[in-house]
Amino acid sequence: MRPSHFPLRAFQWPLLALSLLLSASSVARAQADKDRAARVRERVDGEVESLTKLYKSLHTHPELSNEEEQTAARLAKELSGLGFEVTTGVGGHGVVGVLKNGAGPTVLVRCDMDALPVTEKTELPYASKVRTRDKEGKEVGVMHACGHDIHMTCWVGTARVLAALKERWKGTLVFIGQPAEEVGAGARRMLDDGLFKRFPRPDYCLGLHCDPRHPHGHVVYSEGALLANVDTVDITVRGRGGHGSAPHTTIDPIVLGARIVLDLQTLVSREIEPMEAAVVTVGSFQGGTKHNIIPSEVKLQITVRSLKDDVRKHLLEGIQRIAKTAAEGARAPEPIVRIDLDNFTPALYNNAELAKKTAKVFRDVLGADKVHERGPILGGEDFSRYGRDGIPIFFYFLGTMPPEKVEAARKGGPPLPSLHSDLYYPIPEPSIRTGVTTMSHAVLNLLRD
């Protein structure tokens, strides 16, 4: 008798039944995922034209950080129309929408709303022509040069899709429109205003950001460190002014400031382990009024980037030490060093488990060739603050450029515009489609029916 004809023993029947049950469950789950993907695709197809119009309107009417009043009102209206319970004025112009749909996890989805003081030069038919005055009273152009208009549009689109598919998930949605991301203050202010106390505390937080280096239809993510600690430091270098023909009667703060700028570079090159990420950039050196006048002071503006908190501590202490020591050597008054802790942005670390499971969904939906893992970069994002309280977060980048331009740039052709460039603009329809599709699936994967 062949082995395959041996009868099953009694203890083997339950194992066989369990195996068949698991197999049937797996097939049913796969079919459910397939059906859900079809429903999401159908909803996105139905919304993309309206969402593109919304995007162009948001792009045409940008507002600076802490001035997002009309933008916030537009987002609040969108959520209210979908059945969300909406609260405005959270941490400034922040918007919080809550949609409950039975017992289940709570998922927070965030977008940022503020624009930049940049005069747009894209020559798009919907280009921003807005001009206003910044906090220092200077007239500036205003532009969504960092893609926050795409972020808001994808956020609205995701809310529409999820509200229409309530039979497909159980749990609670918390959708937040965050102000003041560009100045690093919005997330902190919303948290200080009770975001996780006045509203359902999330089990997961999700966000996305435009990427000007990848083609539309693609997404980029990490399973850990993604973005940097960002600190802003101002140094007032003090000296003793006088006539340019008699420098011996002065303490020249310009020479002293130049010495400090050069000495600061040794912080990274000689004090930080070479394999650690660290940047100290002096972005502004201001002082003096005339050729033959030695001023009494100059001002330095510095951005400091790091991935690890101990590296950050070393850099900030080193800046103060170098500035003070240089002044002592020149017999100058002690410089004033101001570290702007209000606008500090912590490093962003994606939760590895959440990143793995979400990236798998993205590969299933977009194809493995359109989902890319990458290492950290030294940009900053205050979305990181939502994960500082022990909540798993996942933040990913959304490709927004024409594939042919990306390919040409990789081959040495015209360079791609960067974020914050007056020439940067996403390709709306395919970028929105991918953003809404991926974020909707990311949420549904956490709120399974």
Reported pTM: 0.90
Amino acid at position 448, single letter = R
Looking at the domain assignment, is residue 113 inside a domain?
Answer: yes
- The total domain count for the chain is 2
252 is annotated as an active-site residue: no
Do 68 and 194 belong together in one domain? yes
Do 58 and 118 belong together in one domain? yes
Q: Do 301 and 283 touch, CB atoms closer than 8 A? A: yes
Q: Return the CATH number at 365.
A: 3.40.630.10
Burial 21-52, CB ≥16 within 10 A → b, else e: eeeeeeeeeeeebeebbebbeebbeebbeebb
End position of a domain, from candidates 301, 319, 343: 343
Q: Return the CATH number at 259.
A: 3.30.70.360
Task: Return phi, psi of residue 440, to 5°.
Answer: -60, -45
Do 58 and 177 belong together in one domain? yes
Do 299 and 177 belong together in one domain? no
**Predicted confidence (pLDDT) per residue in 108-156, tens digit:** 999 999 999 999 999 999 999 999 998 888 999 999 999 999 999 999 9
Looking at the domain assignment, is residue 26 inside a domain?
Answer: no
Looking at the domain assignment, is residue 422 inside a domain?
Answer: yes
Can you tell me the mean pLDDT for 73-85?
98
Q: Which residue has the tokens 């050729």?
A: 291
Looking at the domain assignment, is residue 176 inside a domain?
Answer: yes
Do 204 and 63 belong together in one domain? yes
Can you tell me the mean pLDDT for 2-22?
64
Can you tell me the mean pLDDT for 241-270?
97
Which residue of the set 47, 67, 78, 114 is catalytic? 114
Q: Which domain holds residue 205?
A: 53-227+347-446
Looking at the domain assignment, is residue 40 inside a domain?
Answer: no
**Predicted confidence (pLDDT) per residue in 296-339, tens digit:** 999 999 999 999 999 999 999 999 999 999 999 999 999 999 99
End position of a domain, from candidates 343, 372, 405: 343
Do 425 and 410 belong together in one domain? yes
Q: Do 349 and 225 touch, CB atoms closer than 8 A? A: yes
Do 290 and 240 belong together in one domain? yes
Query: What is the DSSP annotation of 104-166?
Result: S-EEEEEEE--BBS----S--TT----EEE-TTS-EEE-B-TTSHHHHHHHHHHHHHHHHHTG
The CA distance from 13 to 311, in Å, is 60
35 pLDDT band (50/70/90 cuts)? Answer: confident
Do 234 and 212 belong together in one domain? no
Do 126 and 221 belong together in one domain? yes
1 pLDDT band (50/70/90 cuts)? Answer: very low
**Mean per-residue pLDDT of the chain:** 95
Strands (E), 149-228: 171-178, 204-215, 219-221, 225-227
The CA distance from 372 to 406, in Å, is 15
- CB count within 10 Å of CB 249 equals 11
Distances (CA, A) of 178 to 88, 95, 340: 11, 7, 21
Looking at the domain assignment, is residue 48 inside a domain?
Answer: no
Do 124 and 139 belong together in one domain? yes
Looking at the domain assignment, is residue 374 inside a domain?
Answer: yes
Do 187 and 90 belong together in one domain? yes
114 is annotated as an active-site residue: yes
Looking at the domain assignment, is residue 258 inside a domain?
Answer: yes
Structure-token pair, residue 407? 């390919």
Do 296 and 336 belong together in one domain? yes
Give the strand pairing for 219-221 and 371-373. Answer: parallel
Please give the biggest Cα pair distance in the chain: 112
End position of a domain, from candidates 282, 316, 343: 343
What's the pLDDT score for residue 342?
A: 87
Which residue of the set 47, 112, 181, 211 is catalytic? 181
pLDDT surpasses 90 at 289: yes
